[in-house]
Amino acid sequence: MTGRDGSAGADGASTSNDGASASSSPPRKHPWRWHPSRARHHESDSHPTWLRRRRHMFIVSDAGKPLWSRYGGEDSLAGFTAALSAIVAFVGDDGDALRSVGWLGSTADASGARPRRPHELTVLRRGPIVLAAMTSTGESPAALRRQLHLLHAQLIALLTRAVERALTRSSKFDARGRLLGGGTDALLGTLAHRMTWDPGCWMRAWAPLPLPPQWREKCVRALRDGLVRVMGGAGAGALVGVLLTDRHVAAIANADPRAGRSATVTASSTPSSYSSPAGGDRRAIGTAGGGGARASRGRASYYAGMDPDDVITLCNTVRSGASFRSNEESFAPVCLPNYDADGFAFAYVAYLRTSDGEVGGSSPEDEPGGRGIDSRDESSNEEGGVCLVLVSTSRDSFPAAAEARARVEETLRREGLLDRIAARVRSRSPSFDVGDSIPGSIAIPRDVPAAAGGGGVAGTPLLHFVYLRPPLGQYVAPDWSPPLHGRREQKRLLRTYQRVFHSMNRWWPSRREWDDDPFVSKNTSGESRGKSGDAAEAGSPLAAFFGGLRISSGGGGGGGAGGEDGGSVAGADDDVRDRRVHYEVCDDHVLLGCVGSDFELYVALDPLTRRSAAVAVCNRLCAWLRAEEAGLFAVC
């Protein structure tokens, strides 16, 4: 709809279908988990069901070669991708960058089913690679461009920017056949799917596993011990260690203890190293340089020195690569795009055994002789498990990493942390919804005190919330609880969060490298059914809201509950920041969004909640979250 500089004139794209019987959503599958078969490789661009899919994503080369498509077989989409690149090129020739095109297609269809939104096309160019989203979900171009940016980051994480160089050198380069075949494209599929269900994907944040701070500190110390003592620290190439579970990140430690020091300081995000316009002149180096590269990139501003996008893509790679789970130990090249987009780092991946699985414990290598041909088949192949990832820039780091793993595992086991983490994960796993969903950290009925808006369905107006701490690159959200148990309602709420998130004015991130647009896109889509109001004027009930949050315009902004060690809160951004509050009422919920100095909170409440009550709940919830922050977030 915001066909800014897009030329709708190039509508020869022949994709304006009339999609018969449109109301059918993708067939229900249980459990709700992404599976490679959901890529529907048999579909082509003339396939009616393909045309009807609501959220297409593509990666094509600027020569029009399809690299990846969320749905359909890449080989049978040549017509579509050719048209797509023609549109992009047509606009590009005028010196404009195509952002989005209101798409063709009918809103209502012949069968008289519910009217459908036409598809819109959003495009993001990264050097010789064109990323495009064709959606009928009503997501705003800004939101989609953010997602395409992340998709690109995942592509780079798989291939490094060598793929750009190869495509620049020769437009005939068969990137798909040579690079993305063999199931690795499934990683892009899971990410595209995750973007719907994990708000972190578009908030640029990851979900930490709630842990008592002293546990987390022990985990971080164990990781750092492995990275520094065994793997030789940053000097020997050791980069980061991550302890992750199926849905959360339990701990991250950087080999360089100084990295991420300023994470809790409200610093603006740094320009990432790879989003610069394709400078195809940087040579590929097999491994990234030593730790020295880090300082020059100024990437110390996030927690543990890890850009959230790197955490997201690394976790996505590890979690969706089933081979990691089924094997004792793996060693795989990964690229951390915001660390060094040109070179591979090497990730040692191992799922650590928790004692409920098998008590055997010690490292698998130390079992001599008699182990028969089919001993040790783990039942832990499916679910759960704590995964250790040790990343190094040295391709010879496997032996050291394996040793570090033994040490980390031993420490964690001795302290009982592995089992505690596993227990946390189990207690977290939601009862009624399985499969991919929002990585909830807490349960509103159980964990949130009534004073802060917790309680059962009838007891509280609070339905759901997302609490984001941009400087940490982390967010916390509760598991779905009744009445939000339908996938449809959940998705709708997530899309609402997304719309509100992208419509807010905020200081963070000050430079959104995924989009050159100014952040303000007033009312980004036609979807907002409710009234949305900017209610920040003085005298409104929200003044109390701000008071409750203790956000002053002075230097010490947001200095509420502690837990962060980053001491001084930079005052530099205070003038720039533009706190905003968003209040909206619709059939399903009341949504209240607030962007503070170093946090963002989006709260969904029962649709009958009055504004004052909503603000009060939001206030108390926010205060509680601030107080609980040390346990909810990884801050140590």
Partner 1 sequence: MSTLPVMQAKLVLLGDMGAGKSSLVLRFVKGQFFEYQESTIGAAFLTQTVSVSDATVKFEIWDTAGQERYHSLAPMYYRGAAAAIIVYDIQSPSSFERAKSWVRELQRQGNANLVMALAGNKADIAEKEPEKRKVDADEAQAYADENGLFFMETSARTAANVNDLFYEIARKLPRAEPPTPAAAGVTLSAQRQSQRPKSQCC
Task: Write out the residues near partner 1 by the rule CB under 8 A.
Answer: 158-159, 177-184, 286, 317, 321-324, 326-334, 344, 346-347, 364-365, 367-369, 371, 373-377, 395-396, 398, 402
CB of 156 to partner 1, least distance (A): 13
Q: Would you give the distance in Å from CA 39 to the centre of its chain?
A: 20
CB 200 within 8 A of CB 207: yes
CA distance 621 to 314: 32
Q: Helix or strand or coil: residue 288?
A: coil
For 266-285, letters b (16+ CB in 10 Å) and e give bbbbbebbbbeebeeebeee
Nearer to partner 1, 402 or 404 (CB): 402
Q: Which CA distances in Å does 548 have to 494, 558, 571, 578?
A: 26, 11, 21, 18
Nearer to partner 1, 32 or 398 (CB): 398
Phi and psi dihedrals of 75, rounded to 5? -75, -20
CB of 327 to partner 1, least distance (A): 4
CB of 555 to partner 1, least distance (A): 47
Helix (H) or strand (E) holding 624: helix 611-632
Residue 510 DSSP one-character state: S
Q: Helix or strand or coil: residue 121?
A: strand
CB of 17 to partner 1, least distance (A): 33
Nearer to partner 1, 51 or 334 (CB): 334
Neighbours of 121 (CB within 10 A): 27
Nearer to partner 1, 347 or 462 (CB): 347
CB of 398 to partner 1, least distance (A): 7
CB of 367 to partner 1, least distance (A): 7
- β-partners of residue 253 are 241
Nearer to partner 1, 366 or 587 (CB): 366
CB of 177 to partner 1, least distance (A): 8
Nearer to partner 1, 38 or 145 (CB): 38
Nearer to partner 1, 9 or 36 (CB): 36
CB of 280 to partner 1, least distance (A): 19
Question: Among the residues of 392-443, which ranges form H helices?
Answer: 398-414, 417-428
Phi and psi dihedrals of 98, rounded to 5? -75, 130
Q: Which of 160, 150, 562 is nearest to 336 (CA)?
A: 160
Nearer to partner 1, 158 or 462 (CB): 158
- β-partners of residue 241 are 253, 390
Residue 145 in tokens? 């461009």
Nearer to partner 1, 382 or 587 (CB): 382
CB of 155 to partner 1, least distance (A): 12
Nearer to partner 1, 45 or 164 (CB): 164
CB of 200 to partner 1, least distance (A): 22
CA distance 54 to 26: 9
CB of 325 to partner 1, least distance (A): 9
CA distance 191 to 200: 11
CA distance 71 to 41: 7
Q: Which CA distances in Å does 144 have to 137, 192, 614?
A: 10, 11, 30
CB of 27 to partner 1, least distance (A): 20
Nearer to partner 1, 328 or 534 (CB): 328
CA distance 142 to 149: 10
Helix (H) or strand (E) holding 49: helix 48-52
**SS3 per residue for 453-473:** CCCCCCCCCEEEEEEEECCCC
Q: Is 2 exposed, middle or buried (0-12, 13-18, 19+ CB in 10 A)?
A: middle
Nearer to partner 1, 181 or 554 (CB): 181
CB 148 within 8 A of CB 142: no
